[in-house]
Structure 1
Amino acid sequence: MLAISVTKGEHGRRLNLTGELDMETLAMLEQAAELQEGERQLEINLAGVSFIDSTGLRGLLEIRRRWSRQGGEVRVINPCPEIAEVFRLVGVEELLDYSGQGKAAGGES
């Protein structure tokens, strides 16, 4: 299961994920992450994610690629140490933003 809550800010949104990001839940994230008119930033907060598989990881990369093609920015923040290690092991740790501060939401984590 995956739950997504949305926080809107001046320049975009923050998606706060809770649960597992995998083949069964990726479509839910992709739908929530669709670029909307006037948005420039999307943060995907992984603080509540307990598991990510290769499909979920590939989905995050695809979301980032789509936003980038349209001039937007995607930040992936607050992964637990195990998920951060997965990103490191597969060589995509540049996708992570360790600042943990919410520009898109304009507020706190």
Structure 2
Amino acid sequence: MALEIGSETHGDFRVLKLDGRLDTETSADFELAAHDLTAAGERRFIVDLSGISYVSSAGLRVLLSLAKQMSSGGGELRLCGLAPSVRQVFDLSGFSKLFTIASDVNSALGEKSGGSTAAPSPEVSKAAANLLGATSSSQQPAGSPQVGRQAADLLGARQAAAKPGLFARLFAWLKGN
């Protein structure tokens, strides 16, 4: 299914209205459209996702990459209109913490810059982008283990439960458990 991208200006913001699916096949179209607009000098975006029925990790990567580009270049990215299924993807992946998200375009236009939650440090944002593959390996910061853990926490990662060692599993098997 093709991705339709509508564009209009509201004050200082370029509103991009997406319709369809934001997935592996279509995310490149959105990335190219956003790149063209930023190359033309646009720095403040609202991405209206009310017409998006599905978003994949490739779509999330493009949104994160655009947000990173905007924050490092003095711009701003706001999202709005997330369908319940799309909002669930954002919540489960931790992306709800990374973006200013409003219910609709008018609400997004009225939001204060930066949203209602404190933004993560640039180091944590970069580490989160690296975890999602939104940056090339040459751009990956060394970072401390603490920064990596904070980035994983930001993305909603959960620490795996410790597995019993080989001998403990063998002993449990021998006991019949």
User: Under a length normalisation based on structure 1, what TM-score does the superposition of the two structures give?
Assistant: 0.85
Structure 1: gaps (5+ residues): 105-109
Cα RMSD (Å) of the superposition? 1.7
| AA aligned opposite 2:101 | D
Distance 1:96 1:87 in 2: 12
Q: Specify the SS of the correspondent of 1:66.
A: helix
Q: Percent identity?
A: 35
Larger radius of gyration: 2
C-alpha deviation, 1:99, in angstroms: 4.3
Q: 1:73 aligns with which of 47, 70, 76?
A: 76
| AA aligned opposite 1:19 | G
Distance 1:88 1:8 in 2: 28
Give the aligned partner of residue 20 of structure 1. Answer: 21
How many residue pairs align between the two structures?
103
- Alignment of 1:97 with 2:98, yes or no, is no
C-alpha deviation, 1:103, in angstroms: 2.4
Q: Which structure ranks higher in relative contact order (CA pairs < 8 Å, sequence separation ≥ 6)?
A: 1
C-alpha deviation, 1:12, in angstroms: 2.7
Which has a greater percent of helix?
A: 2
- Alignment of 1:9 with 2:10, yes or no, is yes
Q: Specify the SS of the correspondent of 1:79.
A: coil
Q: Please say if residues 15 and 45 of structure 1, whose CA atoms lie closer than 8 Å, have aligned partners that are also in contact.
A: yes
Which has a greater percent of strand?
A: 1
Deviations 1:61-108 (A, max 9, x none): 11110111110000011110010011000111122412422529xxxx
Distance 2:57 2:78 in 1: 18
User: Under a length normalisation based on structure 2, what TM-score does the superposition of the two structures give?
Assistant: 0.54
Give the aligned partner of residue 141 of structure 2. Answer: none
Runs of 4+ in 1 over 6 A off after TM superposition: none
